[in-house]
Homo-oligomer: A and B are copies of this chain.
Amino acid sequence: MQIETPYLIFIGDAKDALAAKTGQGIVDWRPTWSLGQFRFANCRADLNIPDMTVAEAVTAGAKTFVIGTVSPGGTLPESWIPVIISALEGGLDLASGMHTRLSTFPTVVAAAKKHGKKLFDVRHCDVHFSTGAGTARTGNRLLTVGTDCSIGKKYAALAIEQEMRKRGMNADFRATGQTGILIAGGGVAIDAVAADFIAGACEYLSPENSIDHWDIVEGQGSLFHPSFAGVSLGLLHGTQPDAFVVCHEPTRTTMRNVDTPIASVDDVIEQTIALGRLTNPAIRCVGIAVNTAEFDDTQANAYIGDMQGRFELPVTDPMRHGVVSIVNLLTD
């Protein structure tokens, strides 16, 4: 799956900024791919990039029409279909992170076929994976792990890729979820892979590479989340990371959508090393990424200072302070 760039980002009738989070993620991390946004008159979100028609975007060089907002019930509302078809007619491929496959909408399929355009369902992957082999491979890999789901693993990974590339390092963000895939232009939505192939799909996603290369792999779930720990463990074994960063949000008390108390950073470090050793005996923790969005500057600095005292590791909020200290540790 390789989605052609740049994009025209569709945010339709998004009712607020949160509903356009996918589009915002693309703009934040791939500004040069984000040519323009397509909005309806009643849209309450704004990605702060030019509003464009399909024709304007095609003239400007756009290749793919990306659905950058949530769709009610994971399916296409009737009101979106004419716009989507006009995008295919205009010459754009179509990429969607919806649960429902684009192939289930006959008019969309017909338009894509007629105009020779591709449909990308980033949540689904039709690759026939092998089961994981567990054998060592060359190249370096870093995985972001978490004390919970939805805690900043994707953004931490993207920040590390950005910092490495800024230094001229050979690094690639590897996406494992639908928003990450739209940001990367490719990847595998690990949560949708059949259970037997989780580790194998991660080996496929972060293959053998040159000795100076870093794959920065987007983590999923948490080893301590009762719904998703199996996904997290398969990802850990398949990625066989040399390094990992623990992502944490200090104000949460229970994990997302369950009653389980949030895991401690200490436990996540210990367990990730204990289990990760199976496929990479040299695995080590290289930092803690704290999501301090709920704190003001004073609170954030105090919390991070305290964590730095407790752990002999770089501790930072990637969004507030960047990840220089983490990348420094990797290049020492």
Contacts and interface: CB of A to CB of B under 8 A. Distances in A.
Interface of A: 131-135, 190-196, 198-200, 224, 226-235, 237, 257-260, 271, 274-275, 278-279
Given A194-B193, A196-B192, A260 B231 contact: no
Contacts of A193: 194-195
Contacts of A274: 271
Contacts of A278: 224, 226, 229, 260
Nearest to A234: B230
B134 A234 contact: no
11 contacts: A131-B227, A131-B228, A132-B228, A190-B195, A192-B195, A195-B198, A198-B230, A198-B231, A199-B226, A199-B227, A226-B279
Copies in the complex: 2
A278 B274 CA distance: 16
Contact of A194 (B135, B192, B275): B192
B196 A226 contact: no
A224 to B, nearest CB: 6
Q: Which of A198, A228, A232 has the most chain B CB atoms closer than 10 A to its own CB? A: A228
Contacts of A228: 131-132, 196, 199
A249 to B, nearest CB: 19
Nearest to A130: B227
Nearest to A135: B259
A204 B311 CA distance: 40
A191 B132 CA distance: 13
A229 B277 CA distance: 13
